[in-house]
Structure 1
Amino acid sequence: MEKRKLGKTGLKISLLGFGGFHLIEIPADRAADLLTTYLDRGGNYLETAASYGDGESEKKIGEIVKNRRDELVLASKTGVRDAEGAMAEIDRSLKNLQTDHLDIIFMHGVGDEADLEEILKPGGSLEAAKKAKEMGKVKHIGITAHGQPDVLLKALKTDDFDVMMTHFNYFDKFNFPKLAEEFKPLTEADKEELFANAEELGDYICRQCDECSVSKEFGENIKDVFRMEGYFDRQMYDGRPRNPAEYALRDRLRFWFGDRELAENRYQNLELKAADLLTKEAEFKACKYRLDIKNKLEIVDYKLGESDVMN
């Protein structure tokens, strides 16, 4: 499997990594089969977190790591923000993973600048990570975040982190997952086919076209409004009835990144909001991706504007 250098760490990791979250959902023997198959086929990056099943994911990975430690790059995460607690969690992770060191320890799920400051301040978890590095318990220090990039950009300027991680999927960013073998970028035609036909995007998710097909004059305003909706709830509430299980899953995932307040604040600063654009709706052309622009603007006004009920 193709391997690439990971930032300034010098580590070479496989194009396809193995995330440990869903190991908490399957039996230990099945987890062992998956991990073994991944390593046997050339993968070498295993990543988990202390919080995944309160250590259960780490323990399942540890059963494989203890026999194949020299074959892999091993990463875990701590969500604790104070130095004493973070060091205790790092030690627990090492025990669970049956190893004497981590290649990467991530400061996990950093949500905003206040959260980052807790990590960076004297007595914060970064202090523990640096001490663990001096002791040989970890080799590199990283940071993870979901949602907006602001906090990672600020973290980058501190020069304290070797690795940064954020979400990356085509539902949110419209990029197709990389193929692990014989990888090559999608052509523009391939991307357009994906944007047009992807079931997850359907006829509701705004594609943020370079040039909006709905309106030459107000296209940028329309895109701004729908981008704020994406920040708010990933455009996952669309006013359509679904079976209870699918509704419950979407309702959980729509606020996964915790950016509601950010979206509300930025929406208020827009030059034209959904209610303003609805007064222009008679001038709009049909969206090339079949979005019902009027209906979508009404939903955004309900989510972020003044409307108390959805029309």
Structure 2
Amino acid sequence: MIAQISENEFRLFRDFIHEECGLYFADNRRAFLSSRIGKRLLARSINSFFRYYDYLKQGGTEEEKELLKLLDVLTINETSFFRNLPQFDVLEQKVLPELIEKKVKASEHSLRIWSAGCSTGEEPYSIAISVLEALPTRPEWEVRIYASDLSLSALEKAANGHYTNARVEGLAPARLRRFFETEDDGHRVVELIKRLVIFDFNNLKHENGLGNLDIVFCRNVLIYFDPQEQQKVINKLARALRPGGYLFLGHSESVQGMSPELEFFHYQRGTAYKKREIA
């Protein structure tokens, strides 16, 4: 049985994880961190938190692979299709019609969207469904939905596109029939949707080269960062958006006072931020 992490060991891991990926664990998260790191100690047959820390710090190829496995157990993949429905009302009734109208007038038939912190794929697939339902004529449009996460196991599940019956039970029957194939043990996203989504590993602490985006979803991700890292992430998201683009955050997250480029707005019960357009 693995003992609880000591205060000194907790601080070593907290600072190391923060340095590597920006995630920050406050003092009240010590038990959580101890439990999650303990899983990797058991998997590696290491009986000491400090020995495991020393192993990770060596920084070789094997150690880097193990770090990814550690980050995988530290992330909480809580998600669902069309989670926070009022925000999808904003997307479907306000944002997409506005963007599509502008692009049609400019003869620009493309949409670029980023789901940052996509977990097991429910969010980017939900976005893809909303986009397909909103487009007037699909063939002439190029849609790219980039979906990234820190968890390799979550990305693997997302790319597979298979969900149990319980995971899709909240979907409207018409959407379930049109965008999913029924299998013995659940449902699978149809290829029409899967082709729109590109899954990739990305640490928000580092650049991924995305830019000129129309929409960014980064929901319930900022809560894992300290204020300094939150500011860096917000700056990155604002840079990635094109003028007039939209940012969706989690209901408890805000960029108030962090970016003059982003204007808060609400539509019915949903909220988002819009990047100021160039005058």
Q: Quick check: TM above 0.5? A: no
| More strand per residue | 2
Larger radius of gyration: 1
TM-score by length of 1: 0.26
